[in-house]
Amino acid sequence: MQTESESEDYVEQRRQWTQEQNRLKGQLLLHDDFPWKLSPPLSDPHQPLCLVGGVDLSFCKHDLTVGCGALVVLNINTMNVIYEDFAVTHLRMPYIPGFLAFRESPVLLALLEKLSRKHVDMYPQVLMVDGNGILHPRGFGLASHLGVLANIPTIGVAKNLYHVDGLCRQDLRMGHDITDASTPLVGNSGQVLGMALRSHPDCTKPIFVSVGHRISLGTAVSVVQKCCKYRIPEPVRQADIRSRKQIKVTSAVPSIRVTFDEHASP
């Protein structure tokens, strides 16, 4: 039966994953590393930021191991979705806090590679990821992991605060920071891990932005703010909405349903 570990604690798996991320972390860049600017003056030779991507995954309610990854690309000036693609996958590993990248990055990476092969002209200049960047136990969340693997500037956008380096939701309220539009997330170590943003004037619950890869926090925050029609920035929101709709129609297709029936009736 159980060889080394009696309980499925994934001890060895986590050790390997940690080792791999520490290796990838060597390539992580926390500064602006791209040729564009948000809004360059006419006299400026820099190219303007136009294409912003967003990725997210949704799961099948009947089988949580079946998920649908989505990649969308928007024109940052109009917020129109100019590209969308999906990929259904089977998740072998469960969700383990701190190791989200190993569960979600494979599908997302495949979607990015497909786009670069088929329609390079629509490849995003920066990518928003549903999850954290360096606001992570080992300073290498999904946004950073995906950014390094795909070698693309990424921004981490989380809907909930990851309690890391002493950071916790309570501390944010105590300092009356709730009245500010943005609050730097400084850990006990003194490092700025991200920014809590009230993406809408009357929004009580903030979003948590952190650097993924090849971008500075200041630029990341500016890009996110420019994309906020609602609490969640459009690239991420659209990826979320569309992947959720896609997994529903997918699970309604007979050929996919067979998979469920096999498990349901032995």
Partner DNA sequence: GCGACAG
Partner DNA sequence: ATCTTGTCGC
H helix intervals, the chain:
11-24, 100-118, 142-150, 169-174, 217-226, 234-250, 254-264
State the minimum distance, in angstroms, from the CB of residue 206 to DNA.
Answer: 12
37 or 245: CB nearest DNA? 245
Q: Least distance in Å: CB of 163 to DNA? A: 4
Among 160, 166, 191, 264, binds DNA (CB under 7 A): 160
233 makes contact with DNA (CB under 7 A): no
**∠ CA 85-87-89, rounded to 5°:** 165
Stretch that binds DNA, among 26-34, 69-77, 114-122, 125-133 (CB under 7 A): 125-133
Nearest C-alpha neighbor of 144 from the set 228, 257, 24: 24
What span, in angstroms and rounded, lies between the C-alpha atoms of 201 and 7? 47
Show Cβ contacts of residue 58 under 8 Å, excluding neighbours closer than 6 positions.
67, 68, 70, 240, 243, 244, 246, 247
Q: Does 71 bind DNA (CB under 7 A)?
A: no
User: Nearest Cα to 102, choosing from 210, 17, 213, 9?
Assistant: 17
Q: Which of residues 81-100 bind DNA (CB under 7 A)?
A: 95, 97-100
Phi, psi of 185 (to 5 degrees): -100, 100
57 binds DNA (CB under 7 A): yes
- Residue 61 interacts with DNA (CB under 7 A)? yes
- Considering only 4, 8, 121, 202, the residue that binds DNA (CB under 7 A) is 202
Which residues from 162-181 bind DNA, rule CB under 7 A? 162-163
CB under 8 A, 24+ apart: contacts of 92-98: 92/65, 93/10, 93/13, 96/10, 96/14, 98/14, 98/136, 98/137, 98/138
Residues 6+ apart with CB under 8 A from 113: 150
- Shortest CB 162 distance to DNA, Å: 4
Using CB under 7 A as the binding rule, whether residue 64 contacts DNA is answered as yes
140 to 159: interface string for DNA, x by CB under 7 A: -xxx------------x-xx
Instruction: Write down the least CB distance from residue 149 to DNA, Å.
Output: 14
CA distances from 164 to 20, 140, 210 (A): 20, 12, 13
DSSP β-ladder status, 154-158 and 126-130: parallel
101 makes contact with DNA (CB under 7 A): yes
Q: From the list 244, 257, 259, 260, which residue makes contact with DNA (rule: CB under 7 A)? A: 244
Task: Report, in Å, the least distance between residue 2 CB and DNA.
Answer: 21
Question: Is 37 or 244 the residue whose CB approaches DNA more closely?
Answer: 244
Residues interacting with DNA, by CB under 7 A?
A: 56-59, 61, 64, 95, 97-101, 130-132, 136, 141-143, 156, 158-163, 202, 244, 247
